[in-house]
Amino acid sequence: MIEDYPDLSFLKNDERRSNVNMSIKQLQHQLAKGEFTSVELVEKAIKEHEKWIDKNAIATISPYAFKQAIMLDEERKHGKLRGPLHGIPLVIKDNILYQDGTPTTANAFSLHDLIPPFNAKIVDLLIKQGAIILGKANLSEFAYFMSYDDMPSGYGSMYGQVKHPFDDKIDPYGSSTGSAVAVKLGIVSLAVGSETNGSLMAPAYQCQIVSVKPTFGLVSQHGIIPISPTQDTAGPMAHTVEDCAYLLDALMDKKHDSLSAKLDEPLTKQKVGFLTIKGHAYSDAEQTVLQKAEQRLNQCGHEVIYLEIEQAHIPNDPTLLIEFKYALNLFLNEVKSATQMTSLSDIIQFNKEHERRCLRYGQSILEAANKTSGDLKDPTYMELRKDIVEKASLLQRLMEEHDLISVAAPLWMGFAPIYGNPSVCIPEGIYEGIPKAMVFVGRMNDDKNLIKLTHQYQQKMNQ
């Protein structure tokens, strides 16, 4: 069975079904008409969270959410609108510092006492734009950089296991698991996740929502519990590319051009490269997805060419382990006195002392990272990083060599997060119980055209 986008049919017979899966434009239109208030949107979001409490998408509800809503309703009454997100609730991943009195834990019990001493820069930007931070979304512990020993996606020792939005047997993937599930279930229309090695693309793919991983560096890393200073980025999750664009505009420095402006302005004829993997045959479902995707792109006036690559992923643990030790120790120094944890060594020891709760799946990644130098100036690290960046430049080189606006595949690939290319996940439906999606990768710093391309592609899905 194939479910058409938008994919909410799994909820049609469930009394807990949300009726608030509206776009940002729709929400703003109804807020402007006075059909409901931001306070009522917050109330509705909390009720939806409570209805879906068994899915464990939300870590904490912010005690400031109603206060923000009241203030923003008053501003609206007096004709003041801060931006497209004014008065709209969203959730942020629980690795993003928000000084609302609740902890930011990365779903790790070792950080249960981390009450942020300051806001992440993106939190200040969201508040400035009038977004209401409903609370923090659950994630895989330490953004899925905890253990090699079969640790489930979406699991953490602080808040437990996030479940897939419509089938508990489906792996929800991580690490922005709760953010994706909260959007899919209609708890909120928007969520902020983060990605190091696929943590926006993978849960969006499995949960059948849209996500945008921006070009590396477009969004500030400040105040986000890190893995890699060379790869980490926050990014938006929503039901549509357009709504992701609105959220990404709010997350990035306003010196950049708006990504949500002129989304419907036609692109000139472009070429998109569909990637096949040497020695890997796409399944019948994936072939169907590719055929439909090519048809839609042709309808948009674009040409598709097929390109074969050697592999979809490249291992980068050797560099990530070093970067994690360096970045986490630096972060803990920045928030010192806000938590008893002062180093990665402290966290490892804490977990050993609370083994029953904290080491259900071990901490082999943490221990491996702690054995490294944690020195980004070490010649060995610098050589490893240089080599992996060269390999990860493959998609950028293909786009330049073949004059492509994007390369795409019915799976996510490791090249884009390592090299820093922007990516967009577009849900394609459920095929015999298995979620499928297309992931489009764009050229570095060409987020605007990639978002315009995928927005217009998504519009064809609804025709």
What pLDDT digit, counting tens, does each position of 378-402 carry? 999 999 999 999 999 999 999 999 9
Q: What is the mean pLDDT of residues 270-275?
A: 98
Q: Which residues pair with 133 in a beta bridge?
A: 90
Mean pLDDT of the residues in the chain: 94
Quick one: pLDDT at residue 260? 96
pLDDT tens, position by position, 309-322: 999 999 999 999 99
CB neighbours of residue 268 within 10 Å: 7
Q: Which residues pair with 136 in a beta bridge?
A: 60, 92
Tokens at 32, concatenated: 């402007």
Quick one: pLDDT at residue 8? 36
462 band by pLDDT with thresholds 50, 70 and 90: confident
Overall residue count recorded for the chain in this entry: 463
pLDDT tens, position by position, 336-374: 999 999 999 999 999 999 999 999 999 999 999 999 999
Contacts with 39 (C-beta within 8 Å, 6 or more apart), sequence order: 66, 69, 70, 73
Domain range annotation of the chain:
9-251, 271-315+392-461, 318-388
b or e along 161-188 (b: 16 or more beta carbons within 10 Å of the residue's beta carbon)? bbbbbbeeebebbbbbbbbbbbbbbbbb
Quick one: pLDDT at residue 323? 98
Q: What is the mean pLDDT of residues 161-165?
A: 98
Q: Which residue has the higher pLDDT, 15 or 344?
A: 344
Distance between CA atoms of 384 and 245, rounded to whole angstroms? Answer: 34
pLDDT tens, position by position, 198-231: 999 999 999 999 999 999 999 999 999 999 999 9
Contacts with 355 (C-beta within 8 Å, 6 or more apart), sequence order: none
Q: Which residue has the higher pLDDT, 462 or 64?
A: 64
CB neighbours of residue 1 within 10 Å: 8
Quick one: pLDDT at residue 4? 36
Q: What is the mean pLDDT of residues 136-144?
A: 98
Quick one: pLDDT at residue 254? 73
17 band by pLDDT with thresholds 50, 70 and 90: very low
Beta pairing, strands 406-409 & 434-442: antiparallel
The CATH class of the 271-315+392-461 domain is alpha beta
Q: Which residues pair with 58 in a beta bridge?
A: 137
300 band by pLDDT with thresholds 50, 70 and 90: very high
CATH superfamily, with its number, for domain 9-251: Amidase signature (AS) domain (3.90.1300.10)
Quick one: pLDDT at residue 77? 98
Residue 327 scores a pLDDT above 70? yes
The terminus-to-terminus CA distance of the chain in angstroms comes to 20
CB neighbours of residue 254 within 10 Å: 11
Type and span of the H or E element at 229 = none
Radius of gyration of the chain (CA): 21
Cβ atoms of residues 196 and 320 within 8 Å: yes
Q: What is the mean pLDDT of residues 242-258?
A: 92
Tokens at 167, concatenated: 């089938």
Show which residues are catalytic.
93, 175, 199
Among residues 414, 158, 435, 138, which one has the least CA distance to residue 286?
435
CB neighbours of residue 409 within 10 Å: 24
